[in-house]
Chains A and B, each alone.
Chain A
Amino acid sequence: MATIGCKDFPDYLEPWMEGDRHPDALAHVRDCPRCRSLVEDLKLIQATAQEWGRTESEPPAHLWNSLRAQLVQEGLIHQQSIRRGWLTGWLPSLPRPALAGAYLAAVIAVAFGLSGPVNQRINRARWLEGTQNSTTPLRAQFASAEMNATPPSLPDSNPTVTASLHNNLAIVDNYIVLCEKSVNEEPENELARDYLFEAYQQKADLLAQLSERGGDGR
């Protein structure tokens, strides 16, 4: 016969769930459907939580780009070790037609303006002119996308994240200024143009995120 009642059972419940089952509590649970149901529910919650812990979610691909921009900005990684293929990680999902346009413009700029074999003897002024011709319309597109991405009238339920995105955007903008300076100083330097290209890509990623947040009011 049970020696404790429902009123006392909660005192035994915490150790019970840790595996320490007092004989009095065991006897009570055997006889009391209400407390038995409580124990079963808690076990079910525990089991469902464990199942939840076995699944993992994939973070979005743009996260690494934005993290890398910050690492470069802080001087934590060597820029010369960043070198990657021209189109690596390019063409992410494009949430807005305006940004798709900016991406397309960037691809065209890269293909015709920023790219080219560096082993040819090419006039420095021609490189500079080519770079400027390619990046000027791109900058205009970004400026327009930036305006569209941050409509002031929409509500923002998570200002911390939006502020963080704006902060990242400011970092990338600074990085672009540095890259543009390098390209202007050494227009034939393929590496400098690679960095500039990647910086534009990062900016497009961030604008896409801001645009999405502005669009659904998150």
Chain B
Amino acid sequence: MPEADAIRLAQQGDAAAFERLYQLHNRRVYSLCLRMVGNTAEAEDLTQEAFLQLFRKISTFRGESAFSTWLHRLSVNVVLMRLRKKSAAETSLEEVTEPDEESGGPRRDFGAPDLRLSGSIDRLNLQRAVEQLPPGYKSVFVLHDVQGYEHNEIAEIMGCSIGNSKSQLHKARMRLRELLHEALRDKAREERKAAGGNLGAED
């Protein structure tokens, strides 16, 4: 069933059409949720919530924008709403706001120049580092660098200015670089410790 037909039939409450729309878009919506929350159970819950909202509102879809764009914006909003709730409930203000935000401008310290990320980061390392970002940075980074949204779209979705989106993205990348360097240093330390242990054992 083509998407346009599925949309029309779903607007009339046809179950097969709902299922078709779900099958067409579930991977992208679930992947977005998973990237933004980093937890499969929560990503499943958010995917269900996003599709529920979609199906509740589908009768209002008039086709002015692409259906997938509409759905993905709706999904992003569902995730952002959850992140906001979580950050309000679980995180203190200090944890959400990076220290440099108070003084304004990015940090001047670039980190140790001796460690190079080149050749040492992969998707998994990056994923772990992204999970440690404050919610605002994480959202902008995932939307822009991973999902491929433009700053004007992010500004619209998140209700902020384009400049703010750019600045958050820059700070997110800088923070990620720090986190990845920290992970590299930890790994190097562990390797040294293991090597020292092996030498000790040989003695």
Interface residues of A (CB under 8 A from B): 6-7, 10-11, 13-14, 17-18, 33-35, 37-38, 40-42, 44-46, 48-53, 55-60, 63-64, 66-68, 70-71, 74, 76-79, 81-82, 158, 160-161, 164, 213, 218
Contact = CB atoms under 8 A, between A and B. Distances in A.
B18 interface: yes
Given A68-B18, A160-B42, A160-B82, 14 more contacts: A7-B108, A42-B173, A44-B117, A45-B173, A50-B146, A58-B27, A59-B26, A59-B27, A66-B48, A67-B22, A76-B55, A81-B16, A161-B41, A161-B44
A77 B52 CA distance: 11
B170 interface: yes
B15 to A, nearest CB: 4
A71 B105 contact: no
Contacts of A53: 145-148
Contacts of A11: 105
Interface residues of B, number: 55
A163 to B, nearest CB: 9
Nearest to A51: B123
Contacts of B27: 56-59
Contacts, number: 145
B202 interface: no
Contacts of A68: 15, 18-19
Contact of B30 (A38, A49, A57): A57
B19 to A, nearest CB: 7
Interface in B7-34: 13-16, 18-19, 22, 26-28, 30-31, 34
